[in-house]
C-alpha cells in the first residue's frame, strides 16, 4: 500500500511528475544496477581482466526484468544493501559467465554509478522544465514591458514598475539556475569504481584502465580519485534543486499576493473547479502556488539531509550514505512537482492591466511622491523639497485629496513647478526609471542563453 504522497495514487501527481517518478522507480533503479554490472564486464574484457566471451554472455543474458523481486527484497533486508542480491540473481542468469559478474567492484561502486545515471536523466527533465519556464517568463516580460503597476516594498506601494519588469526579475533567477545546472553537470556526472577501500587493489595494475573503460562505456566523466566518502557532488545537486525551487516559491508568493481579492492584478490560469472551496462557491484559491511552496520546503529539508550525509567517516561511511537513498529521489520528485506547477502557472498566467491601473490610483498619486521631490529638489535643495512634498502627502491623506491637488495649493511648489509639469510628474507611467530597459536586457540575456543551449544540444 502507498505510504507517502510520492507514491500515493491520490497525491503522487500533486507532489511530483510521472516522468521523474519513473526515473527513480524500483524498476529503473534495478535496471541501472544491471546496466552498470554489464558495462563493468565489457570494460574489464576490453583490457584483458575477464574473458571477452564472458562479457558477451553477460551482456546477452543479464536481464533486470527477470530478477525475482521477492528474493531481492529478502536478501536486501538481510544484508542491508541490494547489490549482493542483484549479483546472485545475475550470476544465475548468466550461467558459467556469471562467475565474472561484479569482478573487483564493491557495492557502493555499483549503487553510486547507478545513482549518477538516474541523476543524469533527472537533470535532463529539470533542464527542459527550466527552459520552458524561462520561455514563458520571457513572453510575459516582453508582452508587459510597459504595463505599469505598483511596485511594492514591505507590502506597501513604493514606486511604479511594470509587470514586465517583475517578470524579468523572475526570469533572471531562472536563467542563473540554467547556468548553474550547466556548470554542475561535469562535476556530478562522473561514475564511481574503486573497489573495497577505494584503491582498486584487487585488479592489480589494471585498476585504472578498467575504471576509465567503464566510464567510457557509460559515457560518464572520470574522477581522479574515488568519491565513496566525498559527497559534495551529490550534495551540490540537491542544493541546486533547493535553490531553484526556492525561486519558484518566490514567484508563487508574488502571484499569491497578486491574487488577493483586494489586489487582483494576476491570477492562476482558469480551469473550472480548480482551487475551489468545499463550502465557499466564490473561492478561487492559488492552488498551484500553494503546492509549489510546499514542494520547495520539502526540497530544502532534503538539501539539509545531503549536507548531513557529507560527514562520512574514513574510507567508507557507517550510515550517512543511507540518507541519500531517501533525499535524492524525493528531492528530485518534489522539485519536478514544483516545476510542473510553475509551468502551468506561468504559461497560462492571467494578467489584469486594468486592475493594476486602478490600484495605482488608490493612493491619489502618492506613489510618485519621489518623482515630485526629485524635480523640486533641483530648485530648492533635496531636504526642503522632501519636507514640502512630505507635508503635501500628509495633507492628501488627511483630506482624502490627490497629491496633485495638494501640491497645486502650495506656492513654494508652484513657483518652481507649474501645473502642467506637476501633472506630468504625478503620472505613474512617467516615473519608471530604467525598468523597461532592464526588461530589454533580460530578454537579450535570455535569447543568448537559449542560443547557447541549442548549440549544446546540437553538439550532443
Catalytic residues: 154, 277
Instruction: Name the pairing type of β-strands 156-162 and 148-153.
Output: antiparallel
Q: Which of 36, 40, 44, 104 is nearest to 64 (CA)?
A: 36
CA distance 359 to 231: 51
Alpha helices in 260-368 (DSSP H): 287-308, 320-347, 353-360
CA separation for the pair 290, 426 (Å, rounded):
37
CB atoms within 10 A of CB 48: 11
- Residue 167, all three cell numbers: 517578470
Q: Which residues contact 205 (CB under 8 A, 6 or more apart)?
A: none
**Cα atoms in the Cβ-side hemisphere of radius 13 Å centred on 97:** 21
Other beta carbons within 10 angstroms of residue 374's beta carbon come to 15
Contact 428, 151 (CB under 8 A): no
- Burial, 333: exposed, middle or buried (Cβ in 10 Å; 0-12, 13-18, 19+)? buried
User: Other CB atoms closer than 10 Å to residue 297's CB: what's the count?
Assistant: 14
**Measured at the alpha carbon of residue 79, what is the angle toward residues 220 and 206, in degrees to the nearest 5?**
40
Distance (Å, rounded) from C-alpha 85 to C-alpha 158? 64
**And the C-alpha cell for 222?**
572520470
Consecutive H or E run containing 240: helix 232-259
Say how far apart CA 344 and CA 136 lie, in whole Å: 10
Amino acid at each position: 500500500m502507498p505510504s507517502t504522497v510520492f507514491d500515493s495514487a491520490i497525491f503522487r501527481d500533486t507532489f511530483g511528475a510521472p516522468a521523474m517518478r519513473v526515473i527513480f522507480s524500483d524498476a529503473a533503479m534495478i535496471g541501472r544496477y544491471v546496466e552498470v554490472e554489464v558495462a563493468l564486464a565489457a570494460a574489464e574484457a576490453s583490457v584483458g581482466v575477464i574473458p571477452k566471451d564472458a562479457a558477451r554472455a553477460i551482456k546477452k543474458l543479464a536481464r533486470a526484468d527477470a530478477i525475482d523481486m521477492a528474493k531481492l527484497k529478502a536478501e536486501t533486508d538481510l544484508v542491508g544493501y541490494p547489490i549482493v542480491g542483484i549479483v546472485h540473481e545475475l550470476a544465475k542468469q548468466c550461467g558459467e559467465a556469471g562467475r565474472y559478474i561484479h569482478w573487483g567492484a564493491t557495492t557502493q561502486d555499483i549503487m553510486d554509478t547507478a545513482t549518477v545515471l538516474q541523476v543524469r536523466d533527472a537533470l535532463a527533465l529539470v533542464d527542459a522544465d527550466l527552459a520552458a519556464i524561462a520561455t514563458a517568463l520571457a513572453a510575459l516580460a516582453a508582452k508587459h514591458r510597459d504595463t505599469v503597476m505598483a511596485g511594492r516594498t514591505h507590502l506597501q506601494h513604493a514606486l511604479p514598475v511594470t509587470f514586465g519588469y517583475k517578470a524579468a526579475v523572475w526570469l533572471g533567477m531562472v536563467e542563473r539556475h540554467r547556468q548553474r545546472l550547466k556548470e554542475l553537470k561535469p562535476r556530478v556526472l562522473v561514475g564511481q569504481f574503486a573497489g573495497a577501500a577505494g584503491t582498486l587493489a584487487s585488479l592489480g595494475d589494471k585498476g585504472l584502465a578498467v575504471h576509465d573503460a567503464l566510464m567510457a562505456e557509460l559515457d560518464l566523466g572520470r574522477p581522479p580519485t574515488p568519491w565513496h566518502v566525498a559527497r559534495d557532488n551529490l550534495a551540490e545537486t540537491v542544493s541546486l534543486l533547493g535553490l531553484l525551487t526556492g525561486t519558484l516559491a518566490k514567484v508563487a508568493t508574488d502571484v499569491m499576493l497578486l491574487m488577493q481579492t483586494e489586489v487582483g492584478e494576476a491570477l492562476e490560469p482558469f480551469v473550472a473547479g480548480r482551487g475551489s472551496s468545499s463550502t465557499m462557491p466564490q473561492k478561487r484559491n492559488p492552488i498551484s502556488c500553494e503546492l509549489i511552496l510546499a514542494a520547495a520546503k520539502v526540497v530544502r529539508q532534503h538539501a539539509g539531509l545531503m549536507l548531513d550525509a557529507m560527514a562520512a567517516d574514513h574510507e567508507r561511511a557507517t550510515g550517512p550514505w543511507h540518507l541519500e537513498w531517501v533525499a535524492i529521489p524525493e528531492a528530485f520528485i518534489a522539485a519536478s512537482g514544483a516545476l510542473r506547477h510553475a509551468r502551468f502557472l506561468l504559461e497560462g498566467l492571467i494578467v489584469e492591466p486594468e486592475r493594476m491601473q486602478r490600484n495605482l490610483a488608490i493612493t491619489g498619486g502618492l506613489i510618485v511622491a519621489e518623482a515630485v521631490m526629485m524635480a523640486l529638489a533641483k530648485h530648492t535643495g533635496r531636504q526642503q523639497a522632501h519636507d514640502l512634498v512630505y507635508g503635501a502627502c500628509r495633507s492628501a491623506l488627511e483630506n482624502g485629496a490627490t497629491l496633485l491637488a495638494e501640491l497645486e495649493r502650495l506656492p513654494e511648489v508652484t513657483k518652481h513647478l507649474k501645473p502642467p509639469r506637476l501633472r506630468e510628474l504625478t503620472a505613474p507611467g512617467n516615473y519608471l526609471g530604467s525598468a523597461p530597459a532592464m526588461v530589454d536586457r533580460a530578454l537579450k540575456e535570455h535569447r543568448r542563453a537559449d542560443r547557447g543551449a541549442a548549440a549544446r544540444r546540437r553538439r550532443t
